[in-house]
């Protein structure tokens, strides 16, 4: 019998490009805003892309074998991707995660049988990074530590896939690319490749407006451990978005577009709308890293 099925990793990438028409109502007729629907990846987020690339890079280099346990720090989505791919490809996975990560994220990682090390919520992902480094230093031969914040294979996943998808899906018409910063891989990879395709494309990064924020997965770069893959000279400008503004955008997207997204998507959409203000013609593309399934226990949705 002919094998007509696919493996889970073959479902990663080639996500749809959503037209955001209703939340953009009131902008000039020549301005369009689009978002990559990254929850269509099998692990439910954009992080499937770099996780797969980092695993494949580890296998190619010989640093990841069946005898190793994959370990990394994560706020949740990369951890879910590691756990899913580890289960599918036969690797043990240990993840250092802030204790205040959403219950849904923790439950999904546990469902894939990942071993979780919960870290001080007050230290955010920086605390998880420090714990992962401590564990690896104590027993280096046991672990494969891809270190998503320092790994070139992170941003290269977006250079090869996300950027080229955006270019093809817009027929090369993209004028602005907007992306939230966490590890910064999405912007670093997608932005570099888009700039090669058209040097006039404007790159706009998005981060929280304060060190103390509720935008899970995002980093306030001035106060955080800055990822080694981050280049603050790449983007034309940076926009700071508040937690409440991002959450209000989530509610607007659900009411007007029928799209339920997570906090970083709300921040990205709010930033894209700011970029659009005052423009007469533009094709603005952003990335919605995940949907709301991992955040439905959060209080901002309101009471039943």
Q: What residues act catalytically? A: 47, 264
Nearest alpha-carbon partner for 39 in 80, 71, 91, 74: 80
CB atoms within 10 A of CB 300: 15
Q: In the block, which residue shows the tokens 């950027």?
A: 163
Tokens of 234: 């790449």
Cβ contact 225:149 at 8 Å = yes
The Cα 94–Cα 60 span in angstroms is 21
Give me the numbers of helices (H) and strands (E) for the chain, helices first please. 9, 10
CB atoms within 10 A of CB 122: 11
The Cα 82–Cα 100 span in angstroms is 19
The Cα 162–Cα 144 span in angstroms is 26
């Amino acid at each position: 019998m002919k094998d007509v099925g696919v493996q889970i990793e073959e479902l990663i990438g080639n996500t749809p490009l959503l037209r955001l028409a209703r939340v953009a109502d009131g902008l000039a007729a020549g301005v369009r805003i689009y978002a990559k629907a990254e929850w269509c990846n099998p692990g439910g987020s954009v992080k499937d892309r770099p996780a797969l690339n980092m695993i494949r890079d580890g296998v190619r280099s010989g640093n990841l074998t069946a005898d190793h346990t994959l370990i990394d720090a994560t706020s949740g989505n990369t951890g879910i991707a590691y756990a899913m791919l580890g289960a599918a490809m036969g690797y043990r996975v240990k993840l250092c995660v802030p204790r205040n990560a959403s219950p849904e994220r923790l439950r999904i990682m546990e469902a894939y049988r990942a071993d979780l090390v919960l870290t001080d919520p007050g230290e955010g992902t920086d605390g998880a990074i420090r714990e992962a480094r401590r564990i690896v230093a104590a027993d280096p031969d046991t672990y494969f530590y891809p270190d998503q914040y320092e790994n070139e294979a992170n941003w290269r996943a977006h250079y090869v896939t996300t950027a080229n998808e955006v270019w093809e899906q817009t027929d090369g018409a993209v004028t602005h690319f907007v992306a939230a910063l966490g590890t910064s891989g999405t912007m670093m990879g997608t932005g570099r490749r888009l700039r090669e395709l058209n040097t006039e494309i404007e790159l706009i990064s998005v981060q929280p407006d304060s060190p103390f924020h509720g935008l899970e997965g995002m980093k306030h770069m001035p106060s955080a451990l800055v990822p080694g893959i981050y280049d603050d000279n790449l983007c034309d400008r940076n926009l700071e978005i508040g937690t409440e503004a991002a959450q209000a955008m989530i509610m607007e997207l659900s009411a007007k577009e029928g799209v339920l997204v997570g906090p970083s998507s709300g921040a990205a959409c709010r930033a894209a709308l700011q970029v659009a203000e005052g423009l007469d013609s533009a094709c603005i593309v952003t990335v919605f890293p995940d949907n709301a399934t991992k955040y439905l226990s959060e209080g901002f949705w309101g009471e039943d």
